[in-house]
């Protein structure tokens, strides 16, 4: 059976990550799940604003949980993500709603390129800024690491 489609498959090219730099980002979706170690995590798909030819980033957010020795570090990275994307946290600081993720935006966040994986693929990674200090000013994010081609 012959099937006709409205797109020329011969003209297609794979999406490529954007160069190191600062970009606006929008959360496309979020899924709840477990890490390989069995701890709770979120998996966010994040679009790079104005770069429809770039693939969405996949960003994993490990959630603090009882009995996890890394809960404090996970809480800081979670707080950095929520702050960067202006996702509200309840007044007691103990809860947030994943329904607030899709459509959440962050302006001017640093993206870097990963090292090539075993298949030679390179991906964009988010460099989340540190939490605001006591006076409300942000500290500078760490500079991107050089990527060897």
CA-CA distance, 44 to 59, in Å (whole number)?
Answer: 5
Q: Look at residue 144 and tell me whether its pLDDT is greater than 70.
A: no
Question: Mean pLDDT throughout 35-50?
Answer: 94
Please, which pLDDT band fits residue 147 given cuts at 50, 70 and 90? low
The tokens for 78 are 């979670």
The tokens for 12 are 């297609």
Structure confidence at residue 94 (pLDDT): 87
Structure confidence at residue 137 (pLDDT): 44
Q: Look at residue 134 and tell me whether its pLDDT is greater than 90.
A: no
Q: What stretches of 21-104 adopt beta strand conformation (E)?
A: 21-34, 40-48, 57-62
The candidate with the shortest Cα–Cα distance to 44, out of 59, 23, 25, is: 59
How is 81-138 classified by DSSP, letter by letter?
HHHHTT--B-TTSS-B-GGGSTT-EEEEEEEEEPPP-TTS---EEEEPPPPP-TTSPP
CA-CA distance, 66 to 47, in Å (whole number)?
Answer: 32
The candidate with the shortest Cα–Cα distance to 23, out of 52, 59, 58, 51, is: 51
Looking at the chain, the whole-number percentage of residues with pLDDT higher than 90 is 75
Q: How far is CA 64 from CA 74, 77, 90, in A?
A: 6, 10, 16
pLDDT in tens, 10-28: 988 889 999 999 999 999 9
């Amino acid at each position: 059976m012959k099937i006709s489609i409205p797109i020329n498959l011969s003209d297609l090219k794979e999406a490529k990550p954007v160069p190191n730099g600062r970009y606006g980002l929008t959360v496309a979706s979020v899924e709840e799940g477990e890490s390989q170690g069995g701890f709770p995590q979120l998996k966010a798909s994040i679009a790079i604003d104005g770069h429809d030819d770039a693939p969405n980033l996949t960003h994993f957010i490990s959630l603090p949980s009882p009995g996890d020795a890394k809960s404090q570090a996970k809480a800081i990275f979670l707080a950095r993500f929520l702050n960067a994307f202006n996702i509200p946290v309840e007044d007691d600081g103990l809860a947030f709603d994943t329904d607030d993720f899709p459509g959440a935006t962050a302006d001017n966040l640093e993206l870097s390129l990963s090292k090539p994986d075993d298949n030679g693929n390179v991906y964009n990674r988010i460099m989340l800024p540190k939490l605001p200090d006591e006076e409300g000013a942000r500290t500078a994010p760490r500079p991107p690491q050089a990527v060897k081609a």
